Amino acid sequence: MCGRYVSVQKVETIEKRFNVTAGADFAFEPSYNIGPGKMAPIITNEKPKELQLYQFGLTPFWAKKKMYLFNARAEGDRNKENDDRYTGAKAIVMKPAFRKPIRSQRCLVVADAFIDGPVNERLDKPYVVYLKDNVRPFAFAGIWDKWEGEDGEIVYSFAIITTTTNALLKKIGNERLPVILPRNRETAWLKNDLPLADVTRYLVPYPAQLMNAYPVSTAIKNPKAEGRQLIEPVGQRIEPEYEAKGKVELELHGMGHYKRGFNH
């Protein structure tokens, strides 16, 4: 599950990283606590060169009222046990809410990290999960849709696709993992002619050895909470990180803390 994430880079940094341009009316407040219902930056297959703001939590075009489907399981209704050894069908292609978007309405969800916890405690025991070597921003694999209410209200929204867990998240006690796209797959993900077989082939866990995590305060449970203090460590990282310089090993502290911080 990925119901909270962090996106705090300057617009100029995102534009350069993804080779996109934000429109003149793009007004995004960097957030350390993006949750369902918030507006957040994405890049769609419809406008692959433009940075846009969509609502986190997808409402299918056919829905009678607004919904907030913030995650889309790659396995669909399969693998209900969340077995990380699952190699069966990516049944997301058959789910009514996702079968159209996964084929023709894909997006990159711009993020710096995500917040998750054990399967039972969830945000009662939260962790910041990030990519090592200062890799941020990065992109979750997402899908989007356009919904129009009976009163004419139009909502553009998105969901983050999740897959089976990896070794790092298992150490936290979490059974799901948002799909993080390697940089060399981002452009292909947005191509309208990407074969469905390739689309589903991309829905795999990100390598655990390229990720790390550390615990943070339960203050992040409050969906209205904001500020850098939300991602300050309250304990040790799951995996130690060291950088060798000659015979000296210098410990690198976690994302958003000590020597390395976000651009904001």
- Write out the chain's pLDDT in tens, 264 residues: 679 999 999 999 999 999 999 988 899 999 999 999 999 999 999 999 999 999 999 999 999 999 999 999 999 999 999 999 999 999 999 999 999 999 999 999 999 999 999 999 999 999 999 999 999 999 999 999 999 999 999 999 999 999 999 999 999 999 999 999 999 999 999 999 999 999 999 999 999 999 999 999 999 999 999 999 999 999 999 999 875 443 333 333 334 333 333 343
Predicted local confidence at residue 262, as pLDDT: 39
Query: Is 261 inside any structural domain?
Result: no
Query: Is 71 inside any structural domain?
Result: yes
Of 57, 51, 86, the closest CA to residue 70 belongs to 57
Query: Is 257 inside any structural domain?
Result: no
Query: Is 262 inside any structural domain?
Result: no
Query: Is 200 inside any structural domain?
Result: yes
Predicted local confidence at residue 1, as pLDDT: 65
Q: In the 8-state DSSP scheme, what is residue 253? A: P
- How many residues are recorded in the chain? 264
Predicted local confidence at residue 255, as pLDDT: 44
Query: Is 97 inside any structural domain?
Result: yes
DSSP string covering 138-206, please? Answer: EEEEEEEEEEE-TTS-EEEEEEEEEEE--HHHHHHT--EEE-EEPHHHHHHHT-TT--HHHHHHT-SPP
Query: Is 260 inside any structural domain?
Result: no
CATH number of the domain where residue 45 is located: 3.90.1680.10
Q: N- to C-terminal Cα distance for the chain?
A: 27
Structure-token match 């998750």, residue found = 116
Structure-token match 């997006």, residue found = 107
Q: In total, how many domains does the chain have?
A: 1
Q: Which domain holds residue 101?
A: 4-251
Query: Is 137 inside any structural domain?
Result: yes
Predicted local confidence at residue 64, as pLDDT: 96
